[in-house]
């Protein structure tokens, strides 16, 4: 007989042991109660909607001060669920949390100053939240991808065809995701939003070619670790954001983000931007492999959505068959302007890219080695490139930028290895 929550001396001892093991692991999520969604009425048959049962299990554990909500075996069809402080959602191997295909199941909410639909899984103003296990969160996204066919600005928050994100940590602290697979979200898949102390480790994020299915988007968040992640999606593998287009402000920056030991296949690579009205600082990317992505290293913004982007480092990066190896542009969505562009006054949303380091990069089979171009009023400053070797169909273009190079070799199939505009200052160490 399954019961919702453990009782008795033996259970108390077991829970105590679990609490000790969690504390020893330094997770920070209090585990004082075990709640099985099936014991709260979940059928896990892939047909019955288990939303109320799963939420009841979450609420039961939360009312006791925290605990672990378990999804064991089967397919739990659900609308949006809301995690709370001190809750661990454990999705065991073989279990699937499957998003309802019924749009009516997703109520409207406010997110990032815009109206959209509630994410499939979220935590709001919470702390000590974890999602663990070897199971799967599946957004059932095809119904949403079909929904926006022909819609205008479908990839912009606040449009009239809103789609649910997969997992959102909204103003939430001390977050851990580990072991799970997140796939097929209607929109962005994992979003720490104004979150702090977030660790995302040893997970898989998947989607076929599909609109705006970014894997992980830290948005105005700090102290984020993305480690040993495999992502193959329809859009950015990682996109660091901190504001909106024409943001009225104020916007908090994204800061202190590390991305290590990851493999990215289909997708748009690691992006900073384009919406970075709050700025981005202190990002470290190391030991990352790109295979067949559209881009590898990409920092992008424009005059209507930028701010300070600084202290950014990339090291020990490999790329195979990446369309554009390095793209740093202040003209997004275009890689570079056509012809000369006059300078404009510097304002709050002017992109300011500086103090960027790219070291130990090997790229083969690229379409373009890259483009590095700033604005006339705000050039890219303090970019250093060391031990960067790129083989591509075409070379690299640089304009409105100050770049220091040491052992940078670009080998194009056709054309010049480097096209350096008069507006660029490039120094090469000999």
Which pLDDT score is estimated for 339?
Answer: 86
Residue range 180-205: mean pLDDT, rounded: 98
For residues 216 and 338, which has the higher predicted lDDT (pLDDT)? 216
- In terms of DSSP bridges, do strands 295-300 and 270-272 run parallel, antiparallel, or are they unpaired? parallel
Which pLDDT score is estimated for 430?
Answer: 80
Q: How far apart are CA 275 and CA 298, in angstroms?
A: 13
Residue spans of the domains in the chain: they are 109-121+139-428
Q: How far apart are CA 54 and CA 79, in angstroms?
A: 10
Q: Across the strands, what pairs with 357?
A: 313, 384
Q: How far apart are CA 303 and CA 301, in angstroms?
A: 7
Q: How far apart are CA 106 and CA 11, in angstroms?
A: 37
- Provide φ and ψ at 46, rounded to 5°: 75, 0
Please provide the average confidence, as pLDDT, over all residues in the chain. Answer: 93
Q: Which residues contact 181 (CB under 8 A, 6 or more apart)?
A: 135, 136, 137, 203, 204, 205, 206
Q: How far apart are CA 296 and CA 268, in angstroms?
A: 7
Q: Which structure tokens are listed for 329?
A: 């542009």
- The tens digit of pLDDT for each residue in 339-370 reads 889 999 999 999 999 999 999 999 999 999 99
Q: How far apart are CA 335 and CA 353, in angstroms?
A: 15
Q: Across the strands, what pairs with 246?
A: none
- The tens digit of pLDDT for each residue in 112-140 reads 999 999 999 999 999 999 999 999 999 99
Which pLDDT score is estimated for 15?
Answer: 36
Which pLDDT score is estimated for 3?
Answer: 33
Other beta carbons within 10 Å of 363:
26
Q: How far apart are CA 187 and CA 167, in angstroms?
A: 10
Q: Please say whether the beta carbons of 356 and 400 come within 8 A.
A: no
Q: Which structure tokens are listed for 289?
A: 């492999």
Other beta carbons within 10 Å of 55:
20
Neighbouring C-alpha atoms within 13 Å toward the C-beta of 118: 20
- The tens digit of pLDDT for each residue in 135-164 reads 999 999 999 999 999 999 999 999 999 999
Q: Which residues contact 393 (CB under 8 A, 6 or more apart)?
A: 366, 367, 368, 412, 413, 414
Q: Across the strands, what pairs with 291?
A: 320
DSSP 164-198: --SEEEES-EEEEEES-EEE--SS-SEEEES-EEE
Q: How far apart are CA 72 and CA 38, in angstroms?
A: 8
Which pLDDT score is estimated for 338?
Answer: 87
Q: How far apart are CA 95 and CA 251, in angstroms?
A: 38
Task: Judge whether residue 326 has pLDDT over 80.
Answer: yes
CA 409 to chain CA centroid, Å, is: 31
Which pLDDT score is estimated for 16?
Answer: 39
Q: Which structure tokens are listed for 342?
A: 């006059």
Residue range 305-334: mean pLDDT, rounded: 98
- The tens digit of pLDDT for each residue in 10-65 reads 333 333 333 333 333 344 554 479 999 999 999 999 999 999 999 999 999 999 99
Task: Categorize the per-residue pLDDT at 9 as very low, low, confident or very high, splitting at 50, 70 and 90.
Answer: very low
DSSP 109-121: EEETTEEEEPPSE
**Rounded CA Rg of the chain:** 23
CA 306 to chain CA centroid, Å, is: 19
Could you report how far apart the first and last alpha carbons of the chain are, in Å? 75
Q: Please say whether the beta carbons of 369 and 396 come within 8 A.
A: yes
* Nearest CA-CA partner of 371 in 343, 410, 341: 410
Q: Please say whether the beta carbons of 85 and 43 come within 8 A.
A: no
Percent of the chain past pLDDT 70, that is, above it, reads: 93
- The tens digit of pLDDT for each residue in 255-305 reads 999 999 999 999 999 999 999 999 999 999 999 999 999 999 999 999 999
Q: Which residue is associated with the tokens 């119904």?
A: 143
Does the domain made of 109-121+139-428 have the CATH classification 2.160.20.10? yes
Which pLDDT score is estimated for 21?
Answer: 35
Q: Across the strands, what pairs with 108?
A: 117
Q: How far apart are CA 49 and CA 98, in angstroms?
A: 10
């Amino acid at each position: 007989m399954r019961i919702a929550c453990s009782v008795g001396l033996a259970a108390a001892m077991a829970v105590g042991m679990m609490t000790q093991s969690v504390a020893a692991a330094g997770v920070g999520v209090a585990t004082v109660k075990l709640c099985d969604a099936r014991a709260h009425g979940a059928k896990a048959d892939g047909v019955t909607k288990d939303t109320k049962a799963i939420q009841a299990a979450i609420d039961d554990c939360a009312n006791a001060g925290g605990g672990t909500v378990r999804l064991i075996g089967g397919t739990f069809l659900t609308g949006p669920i809301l995690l709370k402080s001190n809750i661990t959602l454990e999705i065991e191997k073989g279990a699937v949390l499957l998003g309802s295909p019924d749009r009516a199941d997703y109520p409207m909410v406010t997110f990032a100053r815009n109206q959209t639909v509630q994410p499939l899984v979220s935590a709001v103003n919470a702390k000590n939240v974890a999602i663990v296990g070897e199971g799967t969160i599946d957004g059932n996204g095809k119904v949403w991808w079909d929904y926006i066919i022909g819609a205008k600005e479908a990839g912009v928050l606040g449009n009239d065809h809103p789609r649910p994100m997969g997992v959102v940590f909204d103003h939430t602290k001390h977050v851990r995701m580990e072991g799970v697979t997140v796939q097929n979200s209607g929109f962005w898949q994992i979003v720490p939003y104004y979150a702090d102390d977030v660790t995302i480790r040893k997970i898989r994020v998947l989607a076929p070619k599909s609109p705006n299915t970014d894997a992980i988007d830290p948005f105005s968040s700090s102290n984020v670790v993305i480690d040993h992640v495999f992502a193959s999606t329809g859009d950015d593998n990682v996109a660091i954001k901190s504001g909106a287009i024409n943001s009225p402000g104020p916007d908090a920056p994204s800061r202190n983000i590390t991305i290590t030991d990851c493999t990215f296949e289909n997708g748009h690579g690691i992006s900073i931007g384009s919406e970075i009205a709050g700025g981005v600082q202190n990002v470290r990317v190391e030991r990352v492999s790109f295979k067949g992505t559209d881009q590898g290293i990409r920092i992008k913004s424009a005059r209507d959505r930028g701010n300070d982007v600084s202290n950014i480092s990339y090291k020990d990066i490999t790329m195979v068959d990446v369309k554009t190896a390095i793209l740093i542009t202040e003209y997004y969505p275009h890689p570079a302007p056509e012809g000369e562009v006059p300078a404009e006054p510097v304002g709050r949303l002017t992109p300011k890219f500086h103090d960027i380091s790219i070291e130990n990069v090997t790229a083969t089979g690229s379409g373009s080695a890259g483009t590095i171009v700033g604005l006339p009023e705000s050039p890219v400053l303090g970019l250093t490139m060391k031990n960067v070797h790129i083989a591509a169909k075409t070379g690299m273009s640089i304009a409105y930028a100050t770049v220091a190079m040491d052992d940078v070799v670009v080998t194009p199939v056709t054309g010049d290895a480097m096209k350096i505009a008069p507006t660029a200052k490039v120094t090469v160490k000999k």
